[in-house]
A and B are shown apart, each in its own frame.
Chain A
């Protein structure tokens, strides 16, 4: 009952000086709004990144040919075709940690259907590739071993390609022409979205590895068996390290690289690459959070300043309350509650502003955001805490006022 009275009292006092109260909490509003936006962005990014990591497929290593060395200058990776399908088979056979070793060739090609055309990544793969990437079919069927064995002219398309080439009509059973060959569409893949570099993973068309080499991507005269990449899936996340060194050992042996001669291939851990992106973003978040924290600190000082002014201005009121039986702790409680209420109102305003910004700005810029009750509670708790910390000094000053001056001034 008493504490309700104090809250009522605090509300009246804030309402009595509404402009001053608003000015006092503006720092808190901005600070909390900034924190809310940053946290919403960080949460959104975290979810997005973990979704991307999941969409890559778990426990994946990428084995790619190394760079060519021309007169001491290293050329782009993949400029030599050192990896072969035989290497893929050998890896699957000889490294116990490896579950799948899927060979891959790919090139950017113009695909044509009817009077529409679309430039996309055309990839030659075997059925294991889809298993390694955890890629599911949405309609129709996946490529099979038979398709690879018979170099069938069939294709499985990603969502983006299906949309761009067929404009809403059913792609299944239609033909796609790539240069002089026509491929029958037998399946459409489930949507995967962007990867961590922002590339659209659904902008792709898969054909059997053998068909790709014979009809579309072509093969090198020197190494007809060459592939662009071998995608390796390991038993577990823990075995990735071991698998990496085992792959290096097997490939060096097969490619007859001895002593301290450099590898003609390189091994990439995709999860690690994605996590590096995550860390960079985390540092950005930390920086912005620090700025938001400084804004909250300044906001708290603003509230303290206004409360100190208010105490000075209300000396008479405090004296009257003391003269009629208020204890110093009653006065302290009254002013502390006022500061907390002021800051909490600021926090709620900041939360609304932050929520509104987090809704409007990122969707306009295309950034993912995520909002939850935990963040709202944090914002309110945080602003109340600021009220307590910065309300203590003014409340203490109010509680120490001397009621005797009432009569002296009167």
Chain B
């Protein structure tokens, strides 16, 4: 079976104050379907840049990115939008919910931009909110929800269109330990439902939930626990 994600010699340079900084250099990576991958590394190691590229939010300076065998950055902007809409879901550290929309409307946002609209987008959004355990709070505004609840809304938004690849950038970074565990449990459930998850974190405990850990330093991969590494299963840590 071919990989879901193939990164082929990805380089990324940022321009900072006239100097070009290597955010990623020569990153090669394959991620299979239904894998749970943690990307760890000190700050400035290029984790977020890697996630931006995986999420089609940013273009690499050179290199190839195959998603489902499709060469992502050879596509039009419109097709990139469609990939972001249907194949990829992103969860951010600071949730990034739209403050003036209710939980339900936030979750329905990706449905609004679907090329083939659903007949009943509201029902779908409601169902996904129930899936993440927020069925009772669908009409609340983000400000009326706790951090953990907000992040569950954000996860519901990320999966509402049934993406292949779920990306999470420090999803528990802004949460306390108890809430962190429920969010990790939720991600674990999603992974068991055959979703591929790439999670960026600097929290070793969070990373230990993943089956595979990729270590970044100065924009390069310095360690990869491998496809069938010895990482513990999620149930193994009592989640």
Contact = CB atoms under 8 A, between A and B. Distances in A.
B85 interface: yes
Q: Is the interface of A mostly helix, strand, loop or mixed?
A: helix
Contacts of B15: none
B96 A410 contact: yes
A403 interface: yes
Given A328-B77, A406-B92, A406-B96, A323 B57 contact: yes
B92 A410 contact: yes
A327 B78 contact: yes
Given A316-B96, A317-B98, A406-B96, A325 B114 contact: yes
Interface string A59-101: 0000000000000000000000000000000000000000000
Contacts of B188: none
Interface in A354-410: 402-404, 406-408, 410
Interface residues of A, number: 27
B189 interface: no
A315 to B, nearest CB: 12
Given A12-B100, A403-B57, A407-B169, A324 B93 contact: no
Interface in A322-365: 322-330
Interface string B86-101: 1000101110101010
Interface residues of B, number: 29
Contacts of A406: 57, 92, 96
Interface string B55-94: 1011000000000000000000110011011100010111
A404 B56 CA distance: 9
A407 B51 contact: yes
Contact of B85 (A16, A320, A324, A402): A324
Nearest to B55: A323
A326 B157 CA distance: 14
Given A1-B117, A320-B98, A410 B81 contact: no
B94 A321 contact: no
B52 A2 contact: no
A402 to B, nearest CB: 8
B109 interface: yes
Contacts of B86: 325
Interface in A304-322: 316-317, 319-322
B76 to A, nearest CB: 10
A168 interface: no
Q: Which among B58, B93, B96 has the highest number of chain A CB atoms within 10 Å?
A: B96
A323 B96 CA distance: 10
A328 B100 CA distance: 21
A44 to B, nearest CB: 46
Contacts of A198: none
B116 to A, nearest CB: 12
A5 interface: yes
Q: Which among B48, B81, B98, B109 has the highest number of chain A CB atoms within 10 Å?
A: B81
15 contacts: A2-B112, A317-B98, A320-B96, A320-B98, A323-B84, A324-B110, A324-B113, A327-B82, A328-B77, A328-B81, A404-B58, A406-B96, A407-B51, A407-B57, A410-B48
